[in-house]
Structure 1
């Protein structure tokens, strides 16, 4: 869709005082160019985003693309022979025409987002601005047979990530119970580690800090669940719901003290848990029986709902 008027030049779609950031093309004798045998004029190369481009103007319109009676304008990606096989890039671009009477650069309302590749190196507007409107000097585009066009190009860097989620029809459930003796007596260690155990098809272990870790240091028992990375397929994360429990040893039917949460275990997150699992005051409360004779009983219950694989 090209630039048009409704009632006056002020009805143009977009206008600003700042010139285009990347390229300006000034034509001193537009009518001579229009009457010449040149169907189009292509600018010198300019560089944006580590790529080289040209701006092409069809003063009488690109007739092959239906631009009769208009000025056509196109952006072309050049020097593509040095790019790797299968290359492609996405760019946001816009075209401008200068209103010399009002000192405004006018453009389409929406920037153009296009995909450039080996089979498509040029995009543009066949009907950028109507020639009848352009030639009317009261509109400010063509003054003393001179005019100015411009372009801005912003290349989108390919930082996109993608993933594929596979959920199981029936979640995989597993658990492990661990009795910890000499809970506070082993003062040479700041934490206890369970043996590795297999649950939901992967290797895990529980880590517990009797005097706390991180935000729980000195005020809470901290508990974490660790995944063995060697049991995890490459570029895969696990969609897991975890419950870490400490049992009341005198009231076996009583509800345990527990922490519940969801997590995606993977290469970037192999350890998950609760720095403030249980206040130390609760654990040492003589009315509570989570700790009996310096022994406590922990459980990790793991539910695997699915996997997430990274897609390149």
Structure 2
């Protein structure tokens, strides 16, 4: 009659005792389908020190190719307070009231592990829609039904740290042009462009007019920097492809450097210590510095993000 998605053994029983943790009464059940409500989540309830929800698919869970059945699941409602690598093992029972006999149909599977990747367990085929809808069975009377849940947390543990890499399909690039004027009068070690967005993050170009580190005094140094590091939590890494160009204003060309780099809390800037020699940069025929002005462009694409589990 019912099955876990992976055909594990299910214990089916009948009991006069109602669930102790949560009940949901659904009136006008047929209107869920009429209004195209394929999935219904209850409010959260507490059991075993955690918050849970009941999740119902009145016409079956289409993502599991379930047809002609009601699908019912238990879902962990809130894991924000749990440490990375959390894992909760629980046994649960899901209930359906037989209103004719005033007793409950109960389905129970084996102990299940709830964690970041698998937050929801239950029964793809909790009950056939035909059996459920037949008033003589008592599950749907006057278009009203009652479902319930009991949850028993058996153990919890923190596993080793983990991470999730999400590559971004069809990543788009963002360009930002920075006009640097009065180059000969720049007297600070470095200058930053205005912030611009790429991949929902803020970035800036950082320019060292007299170079930095191994390029000090002989080179221009140019970097891309993450402008909002406070939004990057521990364990987060951002995979970025970027190009930085300085335009030849005489001949409509440019010099450019292109790389892919990871940005994180410990690596907020990436670029070139020796981007171009100051000798070449300042030559009048290079076109890179014209009327004491240079034009710097950054072209940035966020290709992926790694976050801690």
With the shorter chain as reference, the TM-score category is 0.3 to 0.5
TM-score (norm 2): 0.47
TM-score (norm 1): 0.46
Larger-gyration structure (1/2)? 1
